[in-house]
Structure 1
Amino acid sequence: MVTVEFKKKSCNLVSVALKGHAESVDEGYDLVCCAVSSISQTILIGIVEVLKLKIDYSIDDGFLSFSLEDLSIDEIKECQVLMETMLLGLKSVELNYGEYIKVKVEEV
């Protein structure tokens, strides 16, 4: 199962960590894993390559995390459309494939 944990501070999404594998079908054919990876990596690319913001991130097999907490408040706000889009996209996957992915948001 993929677990997704967003952290929210002062109404802004400031970090996300995705862990695990969906294992909905055989490796290489797992549409849930593909959707989760595509959504999360596209948002990360948007922040790093399009907005040109320097953030801490980590990617490994079955793991992706990044944090905006070292950015200025203006930069964090600039990322919110992407972060909210990521949250909505992953919640949509969860709605259809909830046995393979759990998404939660924690206020910190």
Structure 2
Amino acid sequence: MIKVNFKRKSGNLVSVKLKGHADSVSEGYDLVCCAVSVLSQSILIGITEVLKLKANYSIDDGFLSFSLENMSANDIKKSQVLMETMLLGLKKIEISYGEYINIFLEEV
């Protein structure tokens, strides 16, 4: 099961943590895990390499976490289109494959 935790502060998504594996297939390629990985890593690349913002992040097997909380309010605003896109994309995956992914949104 993949658990995704988003944090929203003052109306802005400021962090996300993804942990676990979908284990949606017993053999072969796990398309749910792949979709979640590609989406989340692409958003991080958009923030760090396209927008050139300095997000704090950590990536490991079955784990990805990044935070925008160290950024200026202006930089957090710049990243919101990507962050909201990630949230919506993951929610769409959850609608179809909810037994493999759970999304939580916390207001802080």
* Distance change (3 Å), C-alpha of 1:27 and 1:34: farther
* Distance change (3 Å), C-alpha of 1:54 and 1:101: same
Q: CA RMSD in A?
A: 0.8
5+ residue gaps in structure 2? none
Identity of aligned residues (%): 73
* 1:74 aligned residue: 74
What is the TM-score with the length of structure 1 in the denominator?
0.98
What is the TM-score with the length of structure 2 in the denominator?
0.98
5+ residue gaps in structure 1? none
CA distance in 2, matches of 1:74, 1:48: 15
* 1:56 aligned residue: 56
* 1:14 aligned residue: 14
CA distance in 1, matches of 2:27, 2:58: 22
Q: How far apart are residue 27 of structure 1 and its match? A: 5.7
CA distance in 2, matches of 1:99, 1:69: 31
* 2:96 aligned residue: 96
Aligned length: 108
Q: C-alpha deviations, 1:21-41, integer Å up to 9, x for none?
A: 000014651000000000000
Q: C-alpha deviations, 1:21-66, integer Å up to 9, x for none?
A: 0000146510000000000000000000000011110000000000
